[in-house]
Amino acid sequence: MSVPLAPAFTYRTVDAGGVAINTATAGDGPPVLLLHGYPQTHLIWHLVAPAIAEEHTVVLADLRGYGDSGKPAPTSDAEYAKRAMAHDQLLVMRGLGFDRFAVVGHDRGARVGHRLALDEPASVTGLAVLDIVPTRHTFRHADAAFALGYYHWFFLAAGNGIPERLIGGDPEFWIRARMGARHSGGAAFDEDAVREYVRCFSDPAAISASCADYRAAASIDLTHDDEDFDAGRRVDCPLLALWGESSFVGRSYDVLSVWRDYAKDVRGAALPSDHYLPEEAPGAVIAALRPFLADLTW
């Protein structure tokens, strides 16, 4: 199978405290960690990463439970808390020799990046979040439109093995249906990338892990987020928010206003896309990331 990632990227598996994290690295310069969302892998960045690697050392990583990374069996909400997933990525970057780095995350990866910036402010020089507002805000302001637009949050968090059994019956249908429903007029998905998403997600352990990810978001992650918010902790580093002008996020929230309740230095813009900005509008993502990353203090 042809994987659409530039040949300059070198793959290696990094041991993150007992969890094997699949990574691909290229470039030279200040380090940038790129994190994917659901239901994808590091390949969501295949059109963006080579351009960023022209000025930076780029590290692509599969989150715990996704892609070709390790998938610990979820025995509690803690295994897939964003705190645990963020700590994986901190250990990855340290294992690769980087104590300070920027983080760019889409979807679930942006939530992991948000937690990483809160838990390890000395390590994160800048944070870019693509097509999200904070998990705490979404749940605290949930309404009928959110429940319908983000129904998968509630479906995936259901217990008793329900989503695992239903998705496991036809994982390819689930992935293509989810992605197709959140794409609007931008570049088409690369079929080789989609096949890789299907390959990785067809592993029952990946389905189980991803459901655990969403269960953690509705439980332990909210506890951590409330604790930080109530204590006055906010993201210290510069934060760039990018969102799709056609996405649910773009239609439903004043994105910059929301993030200014959670971070001290916020800027950003809507891009001509729906949810999957790195694949639908890669040129616009690159154009927004380059000056943001160039202005960071490393």
How far is it, in rounded angstroms, from Cα 208 to Cα 161? 9
Listed residue (112, 130, 117, 102) closest to 62, CA to CA: 112
The residues carrying an active-site annotation are 107, 275
CB 62 within 8 A of CB 68: yes
Residue 207 exposure: Cα atoms within 13 Å on the Cβ side: 21
Could you give the C-alpha distances from 19 to 71, 77, 150, in angstroms and in order?
8, 16, 29
CB 238 within 8 A of CB 129: no
Measured in degrees and rounded to the nearest 5, phi and psi for residue 131 equal 60, 45
The pair of three-digit structure tokens given for residue 149, joined into one six-digit string: 């637009």
Specify burial of residue 147 (Cβ count, 10 A radius: 0-12, 13-18, 19+). exposed
| Chain centre to alpha carbon of residue 161 | 24
Q: What is the Cα gyration radius of the chain?
A: 17
CB 289 within 8 A of CB 126: no
Provide DSSP, 112-171: HHHHHHHH-TTTEEEEEEES---HHHHHHT--HHHHHHTHHHHHHH--TTHHHHHHHH-H
**CB neighbour burial string for 248-265, b if at least 16 within 10 angstroms, e if fewer:** bbbebbebbebbeebbee
Listed residue (199, 194, 214, 205) closest to 276, CA to CA: 194
To 5 degrees, how large is the angle CA 167–CA 172–CA 177?
Answer: 85
